[in-house]
Amino acid sequence: MTIKAQRGTKDILPEESATWQMIRENAQKVFQNAGFGEISTPVFEATELFNRGVGDSTDIVNKEMYTFCVGGADKNSSSITLRPENTAGVVRAYIEHNLNRISPPQKFWYFAPMFRYERPQAGRQRQFHQVGVEMFGASEPIADAEVILTAVEFLNSLGLNDLTVELNTLGCKNCKNAYREAIKEVIKPYLDEMCDDCKMRYEKNPLRMLDCKNDTCQKIFEKEEVKKVILKDYICDDCREHFETLTGYLNSLNINYKINKMLVRGLDYYNRTVFEIKSENLGSQSAVCGGGRYDGLVEMLGGQPTPAIGFAMGVERLYAIINKKDPEKLDYYIVSTNTSETIKLARSLRNKNKKVDYDFQGKKFSKQLEKASKVANFALILGDDEIEQKFYSIKNLTTGEQVKVFNIDEL
Ligand code: ATP
Ligand code: MG
């Protein structure tokens, strides 16, 4: 029996890697231009980090974690989890290495695999990648604007312009509490009809109910008296001013956004600004980016009180909209039957940072040219005449034009 890749995991093949590399390179460029430094944290962490840092009313912690017990029953066994997201790990590293010693704001970016035990479907895998940023030490609305701008600039750099930013504010501890109580009150009569998850969220984190994907629950939120409470403004003056200053920046930057009062997002510890970026071209898994402010998390995980904000994007979903599957072409394919000249020439060109390949099997020139036109931009022809008279024939495989070159430095 042959062994296949695990359900919900995917191999990334060479033909796909040009697009993957492009996504990573653009992330590096756009994020580093904006002052974010790259951070890589381990793939697994203590389970406790996610229980606390993602929150035990979330689907991630309740259903989606890859958790292992290591060390055996009678030793000092410990529970570890493959990271389902990267914010908790970055916050852990931030505290552990006292990164608050850098003058604020401290800005980090990452590109890394994540693991969630979910039902695999288009746009939803069990191992997938996220690219994202985290910024610490800035509570001002311009920090929120900067993070959203960075997300939008990165997406634009990938040629993705027809995206919508959905924006909401959850308020601070005070206004969030009033909102939470009002929602609990109006939902109470319907609680029996709601799904088991929402019954649990009702107790632990009622706002998360709004994010429920169950139809019955969504219908309850559509009821007039419920909707009225959801849409009512409970935001305090400070939070309102923060939000209005943020939208002012977004307006002046011409960033297209839409306020969505139902947007609450996954983590338990978001406050004030939350946002998602969606693409029409992705069907039901339409969110490419999720982010928000999490001012309480650093302190909750044992650090100093530190405002923070960030976002994460699903790289597979970005890949699906870019959907550019062309393999990257070689610069030159050497067409020759003289293998000992060819291997030397290939080495010189590769040392000049050219992408070069050639035939090993002494195939006919016509066959080699056919292969060249599939895989390369130029054919570098080295036949008997060329070797005897010491020149190279270079054929442009797009236009068919052919020229003589006497020195490879001229290429
Ligand atoms: P969803 O509602 O689609 O489950 P989420 O709220 O769980 O998303 P986040 O935790 O905010 O997602 O992750 C940020 C981004 O990571 C998402 O917008 C999405 O693009 C991507 N993502 C999340 N889970 C997966 C997955 N299982 N497979 C592929 N991409 C994912
Ligand atoms: Mg999810």
* Residues 233-262 pLDDT 10s: 888 999 999 999 999 999 999 999 999 988
Kindly state the average pLDDT of the residues 354-373.
Answer: 93
Q: For residue 46, what pLDDT is reported?
A: 95
Q: For residue 74, what pLDDT is reported?
A: 60
Q: Same domain, yes or no, for 379 and 309?
A: no
Q: For residue 380, what pLDDT is reported?
A: 96
What is the whole-number distance in angstroms between the Cα of residue 161 and the centre of ligand 2? 24
- Whether 401 has a pLDDT exceeding 70, the answer reads yes
- Whether 327 has a pLDDT exceeding 70, the answer reads no
Q: Same domain, yes or no, for 399 and 257?
A: no
Instruction: Note whether residue 147 is domain-resident.
Output: yes
Q: What is the mean pLDDT of the chain?
A: 91
What is the whole-number distance in angstroms between the Cα of residue 113 and the centre of ligand 2? 15
The fraction of the chain above a pLDDT of 70, given in percent, is: 96
Ligand 1 atom closest to 132 (CA): 14
Q: For residue 229, what pLDDT is reported?
A: 84
Model confidence over 179-213: pLDDT tens digits? 888 888 888 888 888 898 888 888 888 888 888 88
Kindly state the average pLDDT of the residues 118-132.
Answer: 95
Ligand 1 atom closest to 289 (CA): 18
To test ligand 1's pocket by mutation, which of 63, 86, 124 has the most ligand atoms within 8 angstroms of CB?
124
- Whether 325 has a pLDDT exceeding 60, the answer reads no
What is the whole-number distance in angstroms between the Cα of residue 101 and the centre of ligand 2? 34
Kindly state the average pLDDT of the residues 323-328.
Answer: 62
Kindly state the average pLDDT of the residues 28-49.
Answer: 97
Which residues span the domain enclosing 80?
A: 14-171+235-321
Q: Same domain, yes or no, for 267 and 351?
A: no
Q: Same domain, yes or no, for 75 and 164?
A: yes
Instruction: Note whether residue 219 is domain-resident.
Output: no
What lines the ligand 1 site, CB under 6 Å?
A: 85, 116, 118, 123-125, 128, 130, 266, 285, 287-290, 312-314, 316-317
- Whether 222 has a pLDDT exceeding 90, the answer reads no
Q: For residue 45, what pLDDT is reported?
A: 97
Protein residue with least CA distance to atom 7, ligand 1: 266
Q: For residue 326, what pLDDT is reported?
A: 58
Number of domains in the chain: 2
The fraction of the chain above a pLDDT of 90, given in percent, is: 66
Q: Same domain, yes or no, for 42 and 133?
A: yes
What is the whole-number distance in angstroms between the Cα of residue 213 and the centre of ligand 2? 10
**Among all ligands shown, which has an atom nearest to the Cα of 55?**
1
3-state helix/strand/coil string of the chain: CCCCCCCCCCCCCHHHHHHHHHHHHHHHHHHHHCCCEECCCCCEEEHHHHHHHCCCCCHHHHHCCEEEEECCCCCCCEEEEECCCCHHHHHHHHHHCCHHHCCCCEEEEEEEEEECCCCCECCECCEEEEEEEEEECCCCHHHHHHHHHHHHHHHHHCCCCCEEEEEEECCCHHHHHHHHHHHHHHHHHHHHHCCHHHHHHHHHCHHHHHHCCCHHHHHHHHCHHHHHHHHCCCCCHHHHHHHHHHHHHHHHCCCCEEECCCCCCCCCCCEEEEEEEEEHHHCCCCEEEEEEECCCHHHHCCCCCCCEEEEEEEHHHHHHHHCCCCCCCEEEEEEECCHHHHHHHHHHHHHCCCCEEECCCCCCHHHHHHHHHHHEEEEEEECHHHHHHCCEEEEECCCCCEEEECCHHHC
Identify the domain boundary among 321, 340, 364: 321
Q: For residue 253, what pLDDT is reported?
A: 95
Q: Same domain, yes or no, for 157 and 282?
A: yes
Res. 266 pLDDT band, cuts 50 70 90: low
What is the whole-number distance in angstroms between the Cα of residue 319 and the centre of ligand 2? 18
**Among all ligands shown, which has an atom nearest to the Cα of 310?**
1
Q: For residue 270, what pLDDT is reported?
A: 86
Ligand 1 atom closest to 123 (CA): 29
Q: For residue 15, what pLDDT is reported?
A: 87
Question: For the ranges 70-74, 82-86, 171-175, 308-312, which has the lowest average pLDDT?
Answer: 70-74
Q: Same domain, yes or no, for 239 and 374?
A: no
To test ligand 1's pocket by mutation, which of 60, 65, 118, 130 has the most ligand atoms within 8 angstroms of CB?
130
Ligand 1 atom closest to 130 (CA): 16
Q: Same domain, yes or no, for 389 and 249?
A: no
Ligand 1 atom closest to 59 (CA): 7
**Among all ligands shown, which has an atom nearest to the Cα of 129?**
1
- Whether 232 has a pLDDT exceeding 90, the answer reads no
Identify the domain boundary among 321, 351, 376: 321
Instruction: Note whether residue 9 is domain-resident.
Output: no
Instruction: Note whether residue 73 is domain-resident.
Output: yes
Q: Same domain, yes or no, for 53 and 80?
A: yes
Protein residue with least CA distance to atom 30, ligand 1: 314
Instruction: Note whether residue 202 is domain-resident.
Output: no
Protein residue with least CA distance to atom 25, ligand 1: 124
Q: For residue 261, what pLDDT is reported?
A: 87
What is the whole-number distance in angstroms between the Cα of residue 314 and the centre of ligand 1? 6
Q: Same domain, yes or no, for 280 and 341?
A: no
Identify the domain boundary among 280, 298, 321: 321
**Among all ligands shown, which has an atom nearest to the Cα of 278?**
1
Q: For residue 5, what pLDDT is reported?
A: 96
Instruction: Note whether residue 217 is domain-resident.
Output: no
Ligand 1 atom closest to 291 (CA): 11
Q: Same domain, yes or no, for 98 and 242?
A: yes
Q: For residue 85, what pLDDT is reported?
A: 96
Q: Which CATH number does the domain housing residue 272 bear?
A: 3.30.930.10
What is the whole-number distance in angstroms between the Cα of residue 299 and the centre of ligand 2? 25
Kindly state the average pLDDT of the residues 317-329.
Answer: 77
Kindly state the average pLDDT of the residues 9-28.
Answer: 94
Kindly state the average pLDDT of the residues 146-157.
Answer: 96
Q: Same domain, yes or no, for 39 and 71?
A: yes
